[in-house]
Amino acid sequence: MTRARRGGFTLIELLVVIVILGGLVGLAVLSVGSSQSSREVRDEAQRLAALITVLADEAVLDGREYGLLIDDEGYRVLRYEEASGRWLEADRREAHRVPEWMRLQLELDGTPLRLVTP
């Protein structure tokens, strides 16, 4: 006589489903972690690009020269003072620091640029 199978799952079936779900959750956690850092890099790049656009517009409107002093930890806006021939801190703008794990580096065609500090 064969036994009729009742509705339900065996222990093995439940364990297989739990292992599969655990693997999927692990992959989801790993992918979210890496996308967080890439999102931060993208946001910093967009912030810097927007700042450069604003400075270009202000330079035309004000008739002044603006510059960015970029180092490993961040950047700050400078303005050129023609009377003294020096770069000074721009008004209304504080130095921007990037997250500690991020480093800024200027490159031209893949070659790092080493610029002198004003």
pTM over 0.85: no
Q: What is the CATH topology of the domain spanning 12-112? A: minor pseudopilin epsh fold (3.55.40)
Residue 93 near residue 75, CB atoms below 8 Å: no
Q: Looking at residue 117, what is its pLDDT?
A: 64
71-95 tens-digit pLDDT: 878 889 998 888 998 988 887 778 8
Average pLDDT over residues 4-20: 75
pLDDT for the residue numbered 22: 79
CA-to-CA distance for 114 and 72, rounded, in angstroms?
Answer: 12
pLDDT at 5: 60
Asked whether the beta carbons of 106 and 112 are under 8 A apart, the reply is: yes
User: How far apart, in whole angstroms, are the C-alpha atoms of residue 25 and residue 19?
Assistant: 10
